[in-house]
Amino acid sequence: MAEYNLTLPAMGESIAEATIIRWLKEEGDYVKKEELLVEIATDKVDSEVYSPVNGILIKKLFYPDEVAKVGNSIAILETKDNTEIPYEEKTIKEEQEESKKRFYSPLVRTIANKEGISFYELETIKGTGENGRVTKKDLLKFIYIKKTRISFPFTKSSIYNYNNKTSLNNDEILEMDRMRKITAEHMMKSKNISAHVTSFVEADVTNIVKWRENLKESFQKNTGEKLTLMSVFVECVVKAIKDLPMINISVSGTNIIKKRNIHIGLATALPNGNLIVPVIKHADSYSLGGLVKIINDLIKRAKSNKLKPEETQGGTYTISNIGSFGNLFGTPIIHQPQVAIMAIGLIQKKLSIIETPEGDFVGIRHKIYLSHSYDHRVIDGVLGGSFAKKVALYLEKFNSYTKI
């Protein structure tokens, strides 16, 4: 018999601690090697800690909402060779292995066992995850509806009230989830720290739209990747930062820190409405094709909650694609400790005056608004406005015959 101290693992550069969200095992429960034991959270990403050994959980050293440092012991497990695996702990997994029809994550299997959900019930749940995978949210919704049907008549509105309270006038009271609380705190902090100013510039992106239309089918056929315009926007922002490097800074007290590296954050809306900002590290080192690939990968994994904590850290400038939900322009809030952020609006067809050596003509062009918010403590209107115009000029100079 021996004791094993489970420590909070390292989760990437600059991440020194994490909050315990929920234990999936109780003291006295048997835990199998590589079985999910506890859910944790850093500032941006929820993660999971798996047991590296077979054993019995004899002591939890941290509890939900408590913060542990990387390297801290968070639990003690008792290990011995002849420990038996309780039948109810393995039923779902064994039945699944026999069926081989669907994959269920350790978290889903654990919740199903705890709630008495049989394997055959799991098979009836419509999954919203990748390739139809049943997610934690899918399972919890199924459990709630099942219990509701037993305890009182089912109504459509009851689906949405299972974690809420109702006030005396029947208004619905929704508690913020953890990520929404963190986002709210960061937004208020940013408004209190930075003196926000926003400049707006219109850009003609007709050449970029034509370029994508000409290449998107062959590019996807050859690479399996969707050719998005965000790669061009990132490339043009990077070029503008190289021309005006005092945009790529942060502030510490009365000191200005000029960043050597260009790490571009991409504000990404999640399916649940929350926001996360994955970061393209060393964005200036990628070709246009490389940017397409890494952007698609980061956004896909962001929306499926598969980002590593370090992939949301270290950004030096952020881009927000507000055009993806139909907005023309806005006043984005700076992502601290950065000093500027650009919002890219909806591409619209417009009648425009086209200047040529032969004279002016009226034609249909694809136009877009760029909204550039910057910290007036360290960036004046000349630099902030010039940067937005510089990005617009790079967009307008894009060659529609560019190869990728």
Residues 131 and 211 in one domain: no
Number of Cβ atoms within 10 Å of the Cβ of 404: 18
Residues 401, 214 contacting (CB under 8 angstroms): no
pLDDT of residue 401: 85
Burial class of 75 by CB neighbour count within 10 A (0 to 12, 13 to 18, 19+): buried
Residues 146 and 213 in one domain: no
Say yes or no to pLDDT of 98 above 60. no
Residues 390 and 278 in one domain: yes
How far, CA to CA in Å, does 188 sit from each of 18, 115, 183, 286?
Answer: 22, 39, 9, 34
Residues 60 and 103 in one domain: no
Provide the domain count of the chain.
Answer: 3
pLDDT of residue 310: 87
Question: What 3-state DSSP class applies to 152?
Answer: coil
Residues 28 and 119 in one domain: no
Residues 268, 45 contacting (CB under 8 angstroms): no
Residues 216 and 282 in one domain: yes
Residues 321, 299 contacting (CB under 8 angstroms): no
265: Cβ contacts below 8 Å, ≥ 6 apart: 277, 278, 279, 280, 315, 317, 318, 319, 335, 338
Residues 142 and 237 in one domain: no
Q: Of 79, 98, 119, which residue sits at a domain end?
A: 79
3-state secondary structure 138-149: HHHHHHHHHHHH
Residue 260 lies in a domain: yes
Residues 256 and 369 in one domain: yes
User: Which residue did the predictor score with more confidence, 42 or 304?
Assistant: 304
Q: Sign of the C-alpha dihedral, residues 261, 267, 270, 274?
A: positive
Residue 181 lies in a domain: no
Distance in angstroms (rounded) separating the CA atoms of residues 47 and 39 = 6
pLDDT of residue 157: 41
Residues 45 and 136 in one domain: no
Residues 157 and 296 in one domain: no
Question: What 3-state DSSP class applies to 167?
Answer: coil
Residues 64 and 31 in one domain: yes
Q: Which domain holds residue 28?
A: 2-79
Do you know the residue count of the chain? 404
- CATH number at 10 reads 2.40.50.100
pLDDT for 330-368, tens place per residue?
Answer: 999 999 999 999 999 999 999 988 888 888 889 999 999
Angle, CA of 264, 269 and 275, to the nearest 5°: 75
pLDDT for 162-184, tens place per residue?
Answer: 444 555 567 788 888 878 888 88
28: which DSSP letter?
A: T
Number of Cβ atoms within 10 Å of the Cβ of 21: 15
pLDDT of residue 167: 57
Q: Please indicate, yes or no, whether the overall pTM of this predicted structure exceeds 0.75.
A: no
269: Cβ contacts below 8 Å, ≥ 6 apart: 275, 324, 325
Q: Of 162, 183, 213, which residue sits at a domain end?
A: 162
Residues 182, 192 contacting (CB under 8 angstroms): no
Residues 230 and 111 in one domain: no
- For the record, the structure tokens of 351 come out as 């009648």
